[in-house]
Structure 1
Amino acid sequence: MKVVVSQSMYFPWVGLLEQVRLADTFVHYDDVQFTRGFYNRVQIKTPNGTPWLTVPTRDRHRGQLIDEVRIDDREDWRAAHRATLRAAYRQAPHLDEMLGIVDRVFSQSADTLGHVGRASIIELSRYFGLDSGTRFCDSRDLGIGGSSSQRLHDICVALGGSAYVTGHGAANYLDHHLFEQSDIEVRYMDYQRAPYPQLHGAFTPYVTALDLVANLGREGLSFIRSGSVSWKEFTHEPD
């Protein structure tokens, strides 16, 4: 059973959906410290480049957890983001389907970054049918303490995982041997960054997956196809 543990992200890139596709259980890992990343921002593709859409936050302080960071609703950022997306993709063949996903996320009650990030991932996964074989859960609900490799290991054990699939950043800190001692295989994403037809110039894989929806609709599922490799292959560790 493959486990993926990831911080929730605002309308994430295709690579995050590829992790969902590989997961039997996807754990939203939002009871960890907020740092600069993609939890509240994402790039879109426009005729003038790849600007950021950023969810505004308020009363943020050092050490705050992602699912504690409050969204600043004093301005209607949802309407502004929707208008920006509509303008950027007005010529895309599946504009209305893309905006439908946005509207479903924005219609949900969300007062923290954890809320809007989880909704973003789940709505995109549902659109492409990636949720049919994947269980979603929140790390906070598992009641597992600790940090870093030990906590990730303990989450996998608690879920009955036989494999832990992760992004590339984990190579900087993950204790692979800890997982091996529990017969849990560590695998890293082998991102293919498969090019698909995009508007506005040369292909870039690092924009929101809403871009894939707008350009290809549900046929975009065929471009969500990256696999994974063993940690030894990824880190060039000798057997």
Structure 2
Amino acid sequence: MKLALLTPQFAPNLYDLAIILQADRVVLQDVEQWSRKSRVHRTQIRTPEGTQWINIPILTEDRKKAIKDVRIDHSEDWITPLLRSIRYNYRNSVYYDFYEPEINADFRSAGEYKYLKPFILHIQKRLFQFMELSIHYEFASDLEEYTSNPDELVKRLGASTLFQEHDSRHYLRQAECKAEPDFKHPEYRQHFDGFEPWCCILDVLFQFGPESFKITDKLHVDS
């Protein structure tokens, strides 16, 4: 059994999507402490100069809490600047206008959410739906066998292979038994000259729309 461990993310990059698609079991580590270095609350998008991060603000008093207990800071309007950044950088993408109304509405719904976790999973679910991806996962908070020690967790769950979130060494414990997925970052046509890897799946969606499978199919491994 191939096990993938990730934090909840609203817009994974292609490496994280690859380990989700290649794993038999996916566990979201919602009981681990939130970290500003993580991608629970932020993701990377393409810009004319390279890339930039877009962020969801977190209440200062929650920054040492478990991910599942972290709340969104709604004291200022963060949604409008976030959507403005997406629009500025993707308005010339092939499918931006096609998805913009629904994605705007999804992010505007953040005001209805007190906690970060349900909101980012709502956004993630919507993005996966747009890309015609069906993803199944479990939460660490629901697993009696869960431990923050990934090597021990592999033993408890009887996994033969462990994949871990991309570049997570600064905020998640790394396993000695960690394996790398079958992954070579796909290069594809972006809306600015050149190619920047490690952008989130918004980058693929706005550029390829219903044909996003041309990229995501490369992340699968034939049985």
**TM-score when scaled to structure 1?**
0.76
Tell me how large the CA RMSD over aligned residues is: 2.8
Secondary structure at 1:189 match in 2: coil
**1:104 alignment partner AA:** D
- What residue ranges of structure 2 are gaps of 5+ in the alignment? none
Any idea what the Cα deviations from partners look like across 1:8-39, whole Å, max 9, x if unmatched?
Answer: 12322222222222233322211101222222
Which sections of structure 1, spanning at least 5 residues, go unmatched? 177-185, 229-239
Alignment of 1:65-214 (within 5 A): 65-99=66-100, 100-101=102-103, 103-104=105-106, 106-107=108-109, 109-131=112-134, 134-150=135-151, 152-153=153-154, 156-157=157-158, 161=159, 163-167=161-165, 173-176=174-177, 187-214=179-206
Does the 8 Å CA contact 1:9/1:118 hold for their aligned counterparts?
A: yes
Determine if contact 1:20/1:130 at 8 Å carries over to the other structure: no
Aligned residue for 1:8? 8
Q: Distance in 1 between matches of 2:86 and 2:49?
A: 13
Amino acid at match of 2:208: L
Whether the 8 Å contact between 2:5 and 2:28 is mirrored in structure 1 is yes
How big is the shift at 1:212? 0.6
* Post-superposition CA distance 1:85-124 (Å, at most 9, x none): 1221111110034433453355364333322332333222
Alignment correspondent of 1:226: 219
Question: Which of structures 1 and 2 has the bigger CA Rg?
Answer: 1
Name which of structure 1's ranges 164-173 and 58-67 shifts more when overlaid on structure 2: 164-173
1:213 maps to amino acid: L
**What secondary structure sits across from 1:199 in the alignment?**
coil
Distance 1:51 1:145, change over 3 A: closer
How much has 1:71 moved relative to structure 2?
0.8
Distance verdict in 2 for CA 1:123–1:217, change over 3 Å: same
SS in 2 for 1:116: helix
Give me the identity figure in percent.
Answer: 24
* Larger RCO: 1 or 2 (CA < 8 Å, sep 6+): 2
Q: 1:3 to 1:121 in 2, by over 3 A?
A: farther
Matches of 1:118 and 1:53 in 2, distance apart? 16
Equivalences, count: 214
Q: Is the 8 A contact 1:58 1:71 kept in 2?
A: yes
The 2-side partners of 1:43 and 1:170 are apart by 15
Q: Which amino acid aligns with 2:21?
A: R
Taking a change above 3 Å as real, the CA distance of residues 15 and 151 of structure 1, as seen in their structure-2 partners, is same
Task: Tell me by how many angstroms 1:211 deviates.
Answer: 0.9
